[in-house]
């Protein structure tokens, strides 16, 4: 086994010294110009058991998981992201997201290949058209690294299935449907395309008069921040309005490198939102989530969604209860700015779309008034429009201090 001790990360000149560089770890001999080259990072991804064991002492559960991962969801880890793992901690939240485990081979009866029912709404190869005014365009089945809880593990990585992403048929479909004003490019990860290929695809979508709004869903700024080059950013800024959803689950993923990548995107005027997945043992506590959402705001990324983990096959060991998710939101709301509080959602199993989940703030609604609780548990009563103010005997108190929850 070679040196598995990461090079000590160094504090950066960033807010509160919170963002630390990943360091080169076992690759300390690699020249900076290679390390900072996204193609070098991709070429040197860890994809085999032998490569992984060269750098990390695996538990028996991980070893078995890696051996079997080729039949379900392939393993791939960029050297950069690997260096965020604490090799001494088998429960490391970075490690649990990307190192396969044997539990991935246990399938519960409630679990599904396609938990969001995307295949049923496939209007053209790679194009999911479920909502009237927007379409999800799955442009590739490849990612820089593979998340062990991936909702699209049925198609990404090429281990199990493939995505038939025929861009021509999908673009023809979008052009023929004037109701589609919003196209979300996802996959797989669209930012793995070369600059030229991505530019050409965005240009073709932009040329469709009724497509007003483009979005890209990507985990590249987190798995492979070296890919966010000035050249790529110059291309992206040609296609505004273009929004981007990134995917950060744990504050440790916000390194000096990823923060710099996010800053380049934000400086190009790209509004950034984050989509986290609630994962057992990774980010299932209010403390971790608070640190994450505060770190995101410092990176100019708005925490957008917190997803209840989909019922993907082999994901039971990573799923939390819904109650735990609601309790985390309860611990965020009111205790920090509303900009930092993501919307917690569950995707209706089989294709129900995103359904918001909130703590119970509305305690009663009898037609004359609503009874509310605030983040501290204080009770307030608010009269319905056109109704008389509640009588003093009602449970309401401090009528002069009615709190409009959600408007902070």
User: In the annotation, is 354 catalytic?
Assistant: yes
Stretch that binds ligand SF4, among 100-108, 141-149, 197-205, 299-307 (CB under 6 A): 141-149
- Per-residue contact flags (x/-) with ligand SF4 for residues 219 to 238, judged by CB under 6 A: x-------------------
Least Cβ distance, residue 353 to ligand SF4 (angstroms)? 18
Cβ proximity to ligand SF4, 146 vs 304, nearer residue: 146
Cβ proximity to ligand SF4, 136 vs 260, nearer residue: 136
Count of all residues that appear for the chain in the document = 408
Between the CA of residue 274 and those of 62, 142, 292, 319, 385, what are the distances in Å? 29, 20, 10, 19, 36
Cβ proximity to ligand SF4, 142 vs 177, nearer residue: 142
User: In the annotation, is 404 catalytic?
Assistant: no
Least Cβ distance, residue 97 to ligand SF4 (angstroms)? 9
| Spatial distance between the Cα atoms of 98 and 140, rounded to a whole number of angstroms | 20
Interaction between residue 55 and ligand SF4 (CB under 6 A): no
Stretch that binds ligand SF4, among 30-38, 140-148, 166-174, 355-363 (CB under 6 A): 140-148
CA angle 167/172/175 to nearest 5° reads 125
| Spatial distance between the Cα atoms of 160 and 8, rounded to a whole number of angstroms | 37
Stretch that binds ligand SF4, among 58-66, 143-151, 234-242, 397-405 (CB under 6 A): 143-151
User: In the annotation, is 373 catalytic?
Assistant: no
In the block, tokens 């989940």 appear at 357
- DSSP percent split of the chain into helix, strand, coil, nearest 5: 35, 20, 50
Q: Which is the catalytic residue, given 204, 206, 237, 354?
A: 354
DSSP character for 400? G
According to CB under 6 A, which residues from 166 to 205 bind ligand SF4? 187-189
Q: Which is the catalytic residue, given 20, 63, 152, 313?
A: 152
Q: Is 12 exposed, middle or buried (0-12, 13-18, 19+ CB in 10 A)?
A: middle
Strand arrangement of the beta sheet that strand 362-365 belongs to: 362-365, 369-373, 379-383
> Are 164 and 125 contacting, i.e. CB atoms less than 8 angstroms apart?
yes
Judged by the rule CB under 6 A, the positions of this chain that interact with ligand SF4 are 143, 146-147, 150, 152, 156, 187-189, 219
Report, as residue numbers or ranges, the catalytic residues.
130-131, 134, 143, 147, 150, 152, 310, 347, 354
């Amino acid at each position: 086994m070679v040196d598995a001790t990461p090079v000590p990360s160094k504090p950066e000149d960033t807010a509160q010294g919170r963002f630390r560089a990943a360091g080169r770890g076992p690759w300390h001999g690699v020249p900076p110009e290679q390390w900072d080259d996204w193609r070098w990072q991709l070429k040197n991804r860890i994809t085999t058991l032998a490569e992984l064991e060269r750098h990390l002492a695996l538990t028996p559960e991980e070893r078995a998981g890696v051996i079997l991962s080729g039949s379900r969801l392939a393993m791939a880890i960029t050297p950069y992201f690997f260096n965020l793992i604490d090799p001494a901690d088998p429960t490391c939240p970075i490690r649990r997201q990307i190192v396969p485990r044997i539990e991935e081979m246990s399938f519960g009866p409630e679990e599904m290949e396609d938990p969001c029912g995307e295949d049923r709404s496939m209007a053209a190869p790679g194009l999911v058209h479920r909502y009237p005014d927007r379409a999800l365009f799955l442009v590739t089945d490849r990612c820089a690294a593979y998340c062990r809880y991936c909702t699209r593990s049925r198609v990404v990585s090429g281990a199990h299935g493939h995505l038939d992403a025929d861009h021509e048929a999908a673009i023809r479909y979008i052009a023929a449907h004037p109701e589609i004003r919003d196209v979300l490019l996802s996959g797989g990860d669209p930012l793995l395309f070369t600059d030229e290929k991505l530019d050409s695809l965005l240009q073709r979508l932009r040329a469709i008069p009724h497509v007003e709004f483009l979005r890209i869903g990507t985990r590249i700024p987190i798995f492979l921040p070296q890919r966010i080059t000035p050249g790529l950013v110059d291309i992206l800024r040609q296609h505004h309005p273009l929004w981007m959803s990134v995917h950060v689950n744990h504050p440790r993923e916000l390194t000096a490198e990823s923060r710099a990548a996010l800053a380049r995107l934000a400086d190009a005027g790209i509004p950034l939102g984050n989509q986290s997945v609630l994962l057992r043992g990774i980010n299932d506590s209010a403390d971790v989530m608070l640190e994450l959402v505060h770190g995101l705001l410092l990176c100019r990324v708005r925490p957008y969604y917190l997803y209840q983990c989909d019922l993907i096959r082999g994901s039971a060991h990573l799923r939390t209860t819904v109650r735990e998710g609601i309790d985390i939101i309860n611990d965020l709301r009111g205790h920090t700015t509303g900009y930092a509080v993501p919307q917690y959602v569950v995707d209706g199993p089989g294709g129900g779309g995103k359904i918001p989940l909130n703590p119970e703030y509305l305690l009663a609604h009898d037609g004359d008034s609503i009874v509310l609780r605030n983040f501290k548990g204080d009770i307030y009563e608010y009269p319905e429009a056109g109704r008389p103010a509640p009588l003093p005997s009602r449970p309401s108190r401090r009528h002069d201090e009615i709190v409009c929850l959600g408007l902070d």
